[in-house]
Amino acid sequence: MGKKSINNQHIMITGASGGLGEKIAYEVAKRGAIPILVARTEEKLHSIAEDIQRLYNITCYTYVLDISDLNQINIVIQQIIQDVGYIDVLINNAGFGVFEAVAETSMETISSMFQVNVLGLIACTKAVLPTMLKRNRGHIINVASQAGKLATPKSSGYAASKHAVLGFTNGLRMEVAKTNIVVTAINPGPIQTNFFTIADQSGTYEKSVGRFMLHPQYVAEKIVNVLGTSKREVNLPRWMGIGSTFYQLAPGLVEKIAGDALNKK
């Protein structure tokens, strides 16, 4: 389908209290959509919602939810549906990473990444999907990562979680292929957000790739541009997406040639 207006559409954004999620919230509001902001920090959510309402005169809904709490996800999303009627777009943006070698990281850390990045994303999708199927319309956008296509040293656990997101996204897309529901994967490279406060506590990686980092506003605009289209995947920046595609074709060659470049952490 071609690109359509998102005016008055209900757009649910997880991880919306800061970083990329916050930028997406402002961008959809600017284009006339109704943001539904979901995150753990109530104070930040309320501040963003008040700002959006002031700037764009648009109602902005907020719901406190820890995406790692699978028992609460369905409860909160059912409350959202009860309050607003339906969700046109789900943007699964919540996620985090920790850059540590496998030998040094704990199973608790790896489990936490999967709990939020994978299981939380799947649970949100499952909670929203029935009403989309009933209405035979909707758009699910999963923010994955270039790490989901090309793993690098010291990101094995994080990359594994994003590989899982892409696997889920691609399978779901085929399951709803005969409906009017669109499923899109967003695969950004490193973004200038507080993601690295947790992921890269040494600051080494952030310094080494600083010149390649994407601005969150740019990524937010690219994501919102996808709404109302049938785009299956967006790779940012484009050259990094080409690199990960080449890796899938010749992984051994890429690891041999670009080994030092991939080992920035």
170: three-class secondary structure by DSSP: helix
If you search the block for the tokens 């937010």, which residue do you land on? 220
Query: Which residue is catalytic, options 26, 158, 205, 247?
Result: 158
Clarify whether 158 is annotated catalytic.
yes
The token duo for 109 is: 């850390």
- State how far Cα 248 lies from the chain centre: 22
Sign of CA dihedral 142, 80, 224, 180: positive
Contact between residue 68 and residue 81 where contact means Cβ atoms under 8 Å apart: no
The token duo for 105 is: 């990281």
Contact between residue 188 and residue 236 where contact means Cβ atoms under 8 Å apart: yes
DSSP 18: S
DSSP 212: G
* CA dist., res. 259 & res. 126, Å (int): 39
* CA dist., res. 22 & res. 15, Å (int): 8
Question: Measuring CA to CA, which residue among 162, 166, 92, 160 is closest to residue 126?
Answer: 92
Question: Measuring CA to CA, which residue among 200, 192, 215 is closest to residue 97?
Answer: 200
Question: Measuring CA to CA, which residue among 145, 147, 265, 153 is closest to residue 207?
Answer: 265
List, by residue number, the catalytic residues: 158
